[in-house]
Structure 1
Amino acid sequence: MSEFQSLKNHFLIAMPSLQDPNFVRSVTLLCEHNEEGAMGIVVNHPTEVTTSELLDHLEIKISPDFNERPVLAGGPVQTDRGFVIHRNDKHWQSSLEVSKDIIITTSQDILKAFPHDDTLSDAFIALGYAGWGPGQLENELAENAWLSTPASADILFKTKVSERWNKATALLGIDISQLSFEAGHA
């Protein structure tokens, strides 16, 4: 039996054959992965809601020059729960360090600072997350539903949402449009 290998701080890139509407053409940042399962946030599926609309709904004031960005659909689990994906190392009340350059925070203090803190200028919000039970992600990987590659802060914070799927696959040195929709088995 092989030793477990965590894919925390990796991107899961949906293969073209994966047609689940929550994950079609998705890039998912794996925030946790261990023997008990995995948790990730889809980082390239925008919702119809903007960040300023979400903050307004939470009664958090924004300035007129606020850097607008979309709120992302982070996954089908707990879609009312928000995650701020950012890179600054301030100590927020509830944060998970995915890597030294990628941090996920779920506390209200970061939302209140969001419109005023310049260190959050490239941060974004996702609602919901994706979850896998024990062995489920490994089975999906074996069935060729996903590609994986180490996560890139540049793709998260410097790449347009609409370009993240292609840019993430380019990290693997492949052109995703050249992949077949059929799974092969030897």
Structure 2
Amino acid sequence: MQSFQNHFLIAMPALDDPMFKRSVTYVCEHNDEGAMGIVINHPLDVKVADLLKQLQIEFNTDSPAATAHVCAGGPVQHDRGFVLHTAKEGYSSSMHLNNELMVTTSKDILFDLTTEHAPEKFILALGYAGWTAGQLEQEIADNSWLVIPADNSIIFDLTHAEKWQSATATFGIKTWQLTSEAGHA
């Protein structure tokens, strides 16, 4: 089985589910039991400061991180937070995704997000995308997704609006060149 861990799933134009339309999903885990990923480009109308305030966590209002939008990470457990961030040790529930990237699900990271102790770069998402065994592979075969190796600059250095087109451009094609039709030889 080919693993798509550390890859992006780029939604094809025909994928019109509101949660995934024009989405870029970072695949955190993929094995024979299924897959888990975080949509990195669908901002909610909620800022990091709003979430911290709701959780009664003190924060630095002058920090640029406080004004960052929280993302809709996917339809599963949309009340649970996931922080996709550059590597920084010390949180109680973190998983290394590669040498430069981690995901943390424990609340302790939230106390650092607007301080000098924060990871260099991060995205805070509510929820995740999940697939059962074989489901993601079938969706790829059905032409729902383009798959490319993940690129941290797309995750962290672009606006949410730029991510889908930029990820697609890594194929050397323009988004208007994509078709909603699938063919299999």
2:26 is aligned with 1:34: no
Choose from 8, 13, 31 the match for 1:11.
8
Residue 48 (structure 1) aligned to one of 42, 45, 48: 45
* Cα drift, residue 6 of structure 1: 0.5
Consecutive unaligned residues in structure 1, runs of 5 or more: none
- Residue deviations 1:140-161, cap 9 Å, x none? 0000000000001111111111
Aligned to 2:21: 24
Give me the whole-angstrom Cα distance separating, in 2, the residues matched to 1:89 and 1:150: 22
Contact 2:96 2:103 in 1 (8 A): yes
Normalised by the length of structure 2, the TM-score is 0.95
Q: What residue number does 2:61 align with? A: 64
Quick one: which amino acid aligns to residue 123 of structure 1?
Answer: F
Between 89-98 and 7-16, the greater mean CA deviation after superposition: 89-98
The whole-number CA distance in structure 2 between the counterparts of 1:92 and 1:72 is 21
1:157 partnered with 2:174: no
Q: CA deviation at 1:185?
A: 3.5
Structure 1 residue ranges, 4+ long, deviating more than 6 angstroms after superposition? none
Over the matched positions of the two proteins, sequence identity in percent amounts to 51
In structure 2, stretches of 5+ residues that fail to align are: none
Measure, in 1, the Cα distance between the counterparts of 2:20 and 2:116.
32
Query: What's the CA shift for 1:89?
Result: 2.2
Cα RMSD, aligned residues only: 1.2
Partner in structure 2 of residue 184 of structure 1: 183
Matched residue count? 183
Query: Aligned AA for 1:14?
Result: A
- The residue aligned with 2:100 is 101
Deviates more, 1:143-152 or 1:175-184: 175-184
The one-letter amino acid paired with 1:148 is V
